[in-house]
Structure 1
Amino acid sequence: MQGASLPLRMATLLTGLLECIGFAGVLFGWASLVFIFKTERYFESLCEPNATLMGNATGPADCSAQDEQFSLIFTVASFMNNFMTFPTGFIFDRFKTTVTRLLAIFLYTSATLIIAFTSADSAMLLFLAMPMLTVGGILFLITNLQVGNLFGRHRSTIITLYNGAFDSSSAVFLIIKLLYEWGVDLRSSFIFISVCSAWHVGRTFLLMPRGHIPYPLPPNYSYGLCSRDGPREEGKTATESQKLEPQSKASLSPKEEISGPGQPQEPRSFWSCVFSRRYGWHLVWLSVIQLWHYLFIGTFNSLLTILARGDQALVSTYTNAFAITQFFGVLCAPWNGLLMDRLKQKYQEEARRKGSPASASVVALSSAVPSLALTSLLCLGFALCASVPVLPLQYVTFILQVVSRSFLYGGNAAFLTLAFPSEHFGKLFGLVMALSAVVSLLQFPIFTLSKGPLKNDPFYVNVMLVLLTLLTFVHPFLVYRECRRQDRPQEVA
């Protein structure tokens, strides 16, 4: 490898993987944390006695209002997780890596300290802490995704690996739950996580660039421990990267390549990308699948309580099983990136044999079609299983959920890098997450509808959501049709 040494790059890759798996996406282990909060009597004052027909005797307390409060916290936090990626994407593009990471560390440390010192009496502070925690985590992920640029042809695999690690970090709250059951209090666990911020600071200055990692990677590129990148070096690196772009046409977005050899390549503006049909359907695809996952995680404890008929031991067992399956997201996600990288190489070989610039122009986009379709299929299977009110079947639901979610976020980031200009990645990634966050707000009214008017029977809601899931298959179909149309010689001419 040219430029920065292989050991330095591997150290950046592995520590970034550890950072994503240990910190970035812990919010999605919410079900494990809710179990602890309920044990600690958070929002228990909202529970009401459930009077039975037998005189003054009372049955189990009605804690629907408590469940709604936890669901609302998760709704707000998951909304901020996505919505804030748009402004933070601008921050990353404008102020680059070091500033973005220092902001992430501040938010994350503040959030963990707030959670550490909350109690049942100050439970409302969770509405502040959880959004801060999740925004800090997504900033860790955004700054680490560029590490894939250090490894050239394996870029999609590494991007999806990091997204899988982001999914797997939800298992952190399972570890906290198990430690809690073994006598370690919640405060000690979160203070330990806060202390780990010193490690994040060290990694920021020693193993990450001050600016962005360019793609294609210029010769003798250096960063971190070997960095020479003051402002002059940054400009030199950017210039060298631009000179290398014509040599890496296969890695550029299809629209940038369509002009063909000998024709000037017109750069695409940010807004032309945003208002393209490709971006619009990608937003629909992401929003619908993500809504399913957020609704499932946000209502998980309540759903299990109903299916287990209030047996808390059974609820704890299934909560642990769900959290354990989440850990395997880091193993599932790279298969999506590997699929895209292998297909890309295959299509490049076919294009080379044909000698057709039209085929070369759609290589990157074509490699994303099977990934998009497979993710939609996995979500459909997950949605169908989640809709069946049979407790043992939820083990299958857990497996499909973690595979589907791993493919979703890894595929989302990889698709945006392949389908649009790299200089707009931070903003496009942030905007699609922000807009999908608005759709994710539907999870709270859906939960309230199921709890209230539908009396804990979400059958009709699930049917409507399953039908909506079928709409996600339109996106891979349209991308496939676009690739076929661009591949026709007469249209290239």
Structure 2
Amino acid sequence: MVAKCCRLKHTKILGAYNVSEWKRIAQICAAVVYCLLAAGIVFGYAALKPILIMEGVYRDRCTKEELDQGVEVCSEQEIRLNLMFTVAAVVTNICALPVGGILDSCGPRVPGAIGSILIALGALLFANPAHFPYDGRLTGYALFAIGGPFVFISSFHLSNTFPKHAGLILSMLTGAFDCSSALFLLFRLVHGKANGFFTIKTLFLIYLIVPAFILASQVLLMPSRSYSTVGELLQHAEETLAEDESENGGHSADTQERDADLSPRYQRLISQINALIDDQNSQSGSEYTSNPAFKADPNWGVMHTSSSLQQILSPWFIFITIFTIIQMLRTNYFISTIHPQYEYLLSQPNQARQLNHLFDFFLPLGGLIAIPFIGIILDQSTLPGILTLLVTGATLVGVLGCISDSLTAAYANISLFVLYRPYFYTVVSDYAAKIFGFQTFGKVYGLITFLAGLGNFLQSPLDILTIKILHGNPVPVNIGLTGAGAIAGGVLAWFVWWRNRRWMGVGSAACDVGETERLLPDALNERREGSYGALRRGEAA
């Protein structure tokens, strides 16, 4: 019953024009802050691990001989510590599917609140593991991994608060996700300089402020429904006009009379949507946005009107999912094996260690630096161009990772990787929003991430292959993953380009920006006659 009520509530349209500008800005700022502090903190495990070792976590698993020898980390301790990250990396992707289902059914406020509770429980368990019958720290870290997607994915709809800057907003959220891995780096610095005052328990008890802030934001600031895309607002305007015409017994066959008879409710919606798209160009109903984000991309909204099942069975979903599985496997495999990889490639353990420390610092910094550039690319480029850059970057990172005995190539590789990673994550979410819309975003994006999480189980076989069969040589695995990613990405980019060309050839006039996005009476007349771009794109899909 609750789910049904949530679903009925969520299906209502929420236009950004219904919320004041200052409140939308405050919502974005709050989301960026709590994503920075909670969304992807589990990926900063490399910085947390030295603290755990220093405080003797899992030291009880060492044998008497190992303790007598005074080893810094014994084998069973190392395995248990690594298991903590392995479980978190898999869980954080797999749980994206149930997060998406809750998001689509109940709106963004519910998963955001659930995420805050899970993160709070994780902090309490990590601070007081002895009070839990099982492994409190492993369970607590897993709760961090589950709570992160609840908070992160439920924030994506905020990109619709300012459609002109949707790409920038998405890149800010993704950049915050990437930078959140620096939280444990901050913990390590504080722990090292506090002379034992800030223990793990103290740090995580202080951290409880974060889930409290998230919960307060959800209750007091965030909307209960997801903001609608321009395409969804357009569909709502259509339905409004159809209802009004039905009540009035149809519409006139004369074009001028039709324009004059448009319902006041419809005209008000048109004015609000035009103002939302571009305030400076919405002074009258005959003007339209000049923002390139709404120009020349016929693929935008191609499956907004399709059911979630139709979307999942379409090539639009299949191709992006295959590419995402391969790229996420490559990304996480590189993060977890960067030290042994460059220990082999450079044949210099000291250089590999320095490179690893630099990478720990660059990883969150890259997300921060990339934010404005990613926003510009997504807001100013068409989807085929965005995907071409994505595939090119992935291939270049893969090639640099195969070059041995070159410190220059190693530095270039990690520098490009930390910039590419936030771009990759942002493009996948941006693609899902543009192609599938936000009515089914949770299910579709959640399933993409879920399947990519399952693909991460291949990391262990790749480790065994590299260590035991290839004697530590990472090049064959890197070549295989790079080649697979290039092929999958090439097919995806070609498909989107082909559909782009096909649609522009079939209905270039209907795809003109003035016809596609300004939502004016003359465009309405064309749409009634079956030539309006958004509807025909839905049929073509």
State if a TM-score over 0.5 links the two structures: yes
Aligned residue for 1:208, secondary structure, equals: coil
- 1:109 has 2:120 as partner: yes
Q: Deviation at 1:368?
A: 1.6
Q: 1:485 aligns with which of 502, 513, 521?
A: 502
How far apart are the structure 2 equivalents of 1:85 and 1:215?
A: 21
Question: Relative to structure 1, is the Cα distance of residues 199 and 266 closer, same or farther in structure 2, using a 3 angstrom cutoff?
Answer: closer
Indicate the structure (1 or 2) with the bigger Cα radius of gyration. Answer: 2
Q: TM-score, normalised by structure 2?
A: 0.71
Offset, 1:197? 2.0
Alpha-carbon shift at residue 27 of structure 1 (Å) = 1.5
Counterpart of 1:274 in structure 2 is: 312
1:42 deviates by 3.9
Q: Does 1:36 align with 2:47?
A: no
* Contact residue 164 and residue 332 of structure 1 kept, 8 A: yes
Q: CA deviation at 1:218?
A: 7.2
Any idea what SS the aligned residue of 1:442 has? helix
Residues 1:444 and 1:74: Cα distance change in structure 2 (over 3 Å): farther
Distance in 1 between residues matched to 2:137 and 2:155, nearest whole Å: 27
Q: Which of 427, 435, 440 is the aligned partner of 1:419? A: 435
1:127 corresponds to 2:138: yes
Task: Provide closer, same or farther for how the CA distance between residues 246 and 7 of structure 1 changes in structure 2, counting only shifts above 3 A.
Answer: closer
How far apart, in 2, do the equivalents of 1:384 and 1:73 lie?
31
In structure 2, what is the equivalent of residue 227 of structure 1?
Answer: none
1:83 CA drift (Å): 1.3
Aligned pairs for 1:40-439 (under 5 A) are 40-43=55-58, 67-118=78-129, 124-183=135-194, 184-216=198-230, 267-300=305-338, 315=353, 318-319=356-357, 321-343=359-381, 367-388=382-403, 392-393=407-408, 394-439=410-455
Q: Is the 8 A contact 2:171 2:372 kept in 1?
A: yes
Residue 405 of structure 1: how far off its partner (Å): 0.7
1:391-449 Cα distance to aligned partner (Å, 9 max, x none): 84543332222111110111011111111133111111101101111111111222233
Query: Greater CA deviation, 383-392 or 244-253?
Result: 244-253
On the 8 A contact 1:43/1:66 being kept in 2, the answer is: yes
Alpha-carbon offset, residue 283 of structure 1: 0.5
Amino acid at match of 2:389: L
Q: Which amino acid aligns with 2:84?
A: I
* Contact 1:251/1:418 (8 A) holds in 2: no
Instruction: Note if contact 1:71-1:444 (Cα within 8 Å) is conserved in structure 2.
Output: no
Question: Are residues 299 and 257 of structure 1, via their aligned partners in 2, closer, same or farther at CA, if it must alter by over 3 Å?
Answer: closer
> Aligned equivalents of 1:85 and 1:488: distance in 2?
38
Work out which of the residue numbers 461, 464, 469 in structure 1 matches 2:477: 461
Letter of the aligned partner of 1:288 in structure 2? I
CA–CA distance in structure 2, aligned partners of residues 71 and 293 of structure 1: 17
Which sits farther off after the overlay, 446-455 or 280-289? 446-455
Q: What is the CA distance between 1:61 and its match in structure 2?
A: 8.5
Give the partner amino acid of 2:217: R
CA deviation vs aligned residue, 1:192-238 (integer Å, no higher than 9, x gap): 1123222112211222012222334979xxxxxxxxxxxxxxxxxxx
Shift in CA distance, 180/302, structure 1 to aligned 2, threshold 3 Å = farther
Give me the whole-angstrom Cα distance separating, in 2, the residues matched to 1:44 and 1:481.
58
Q: Secondary structure of 1:170's match?
A: helix
Q: 2: CA distance between counterparts of 1:215 and 1:257? A: 9
CA gap of 1:6–1:373, structure 2 versus 1, over 3 A, is same
Distance across 1 between alignment mates of 2:20 and 2:446: 31
Partner Cα separation in structure 1 for residue 188 and residue 25 of structure 2:
32
Deviation at 1:293, TM superposition (A): 1.2
Deviation at 1:129, TM superposition (A): 2.2
Preserved contact between residue 304 and residue 435 of structure 2 (Cα < 8 Å): no
Shift of the 49–292 alpha-carbon distance from structure 1 to 2, 3 Å rule, reads: farther
- The runs of 5 or more residues in structure 1 that have no matched partner are 52-57, 220-238, 259-264, 344-366
* SS of equivalent to 2:104: helix
Q: For 1:265-291, what per-residue CA distance to the aligned partner results, in whole angstroms no more than 9, with x for missing partners?
A: 993111111011121110111111111
User: Closer, same or farther in 2 for the Cα pair 1:483/1:289, shift >3 Å?
Assistant: same
Amino acid corresponding to residue 475 of structure 2 in structure 1: F
Query: What is the aligned-residue identity percentage?
Result: 21
- For the Cα contact (< 8 Å) 1:149–1:215, is it kept in 2? yes
Q: Are the structure 2 counterparts of residues 4 and 490 from structure 1 closer, same or farther at C-alpha, using a change threshold of 3 Å?
A: closer
Residues 252 and 421 in structure 1, CA contact (< 8 A), matched pair in contact too: no
Deviation of 1:331 (Å): 2.8
Q: Quick one: which amino acid aligns to residue 178 of structure 2?
A: D
Question: Hey, what's the Cα distance between the residues in 2 that align with 1:308 and 1:186?
Answer: 36
Counterpart amino acid of residue 495 in structure 2: L
Q: Which moved more, 1:427-436 or 1:240-249?
A: 240-249
Name the CA shift for 1:241/1:270 in 2 (closer, same or farther; >3 Å): farther
Q: Distance in 2 between matches of 1:63 and 1:459?
A: 29
Give, in angstroms, the shift of residue 302 of structure 1.
5.4
- CA-atom RMSD, angstroms? 3.9
Contact 1:98–1:209 under 8 Å retained in 2: yes
- Closer, same or farther: CA 489–454 of 1 in aligned 2, 3 Å: closer
1:164 Cα deviation after fit: 1.5
SS of equivalent to 1:328: helix
Preserved contact between residue 49 and residue 59 of structure 1 (Cα < 8 Å): no
Unaligned runs of 5+ in 2: 1-15, 235-264, 278-288, 511-530, 532-541
Q: Distance in 2 between matches of 1:97 and 1:151?
A: 17
Cα separation, 1, equivalents of 2:423 and 2:127: 33
CA positional deviation for 1:124: 4.2
Residue aligned with 1:212, SS? coil
Which residue is equivalent to 2:465? 449
